[in-house]
Amino acid sequence: MSGLGQAASQQAALQQALQLSAQMLGAARAQEWGVIVDLRPGYDAVLQRGTPATEANRGILLELQCQHRQLVELVDRARDRVRTELEQQQRNHRALNAYLMPCDED
């Protein structure tokens, strides 16, 4: 493949990664976590092809980095919400168990 052909192929791969990243970010904003799970293998495969960080690719790489940060932030927030809800559920469960325990009557 010629230098221009390879550059075009790399540019196309980065554009595909950017599109998949945008879809994953949209899914995260909509809390559609299954969509992210489905898209992630394709996204990873595109990125694993390896694309050099050239000046021509700089803008796309910066956008990918920005979207990745946003995605990580949304996932972190969702994980924190789930952790908080789980902790509350566990407290409620312990309280209910304590309430339902039979008392020893003398």
pLDDT in tens, 11-62: 888 999 999 999 999 999 999 999 999 999 999 999 888 777 788 888 999 9
pLDDT at 44: 93
pLDDT in tens, 52-105: 778 888 899 999 999 999 999 999 999 999 999 999 999 889 888 888 877 665
pLDDT at 30: 97
For the chain, which residues make up each domain, given as ranges?
Answer: 3-100
pLDDT at 105: 59
- CATH (residue range 3-100): 1.20.58
User: How far apart, in whole angstroms, are the C-alpha atoms of residue 71 and residue 37?
Assistant: 13
pLDDT bucket at 106, cuts 50 / 70 / 90: low
pLDDT at 68: 95
User: How far apart, in whole angstroms, are the C-alpha atoms of residue 17 and residue 66?
Assistant: 13
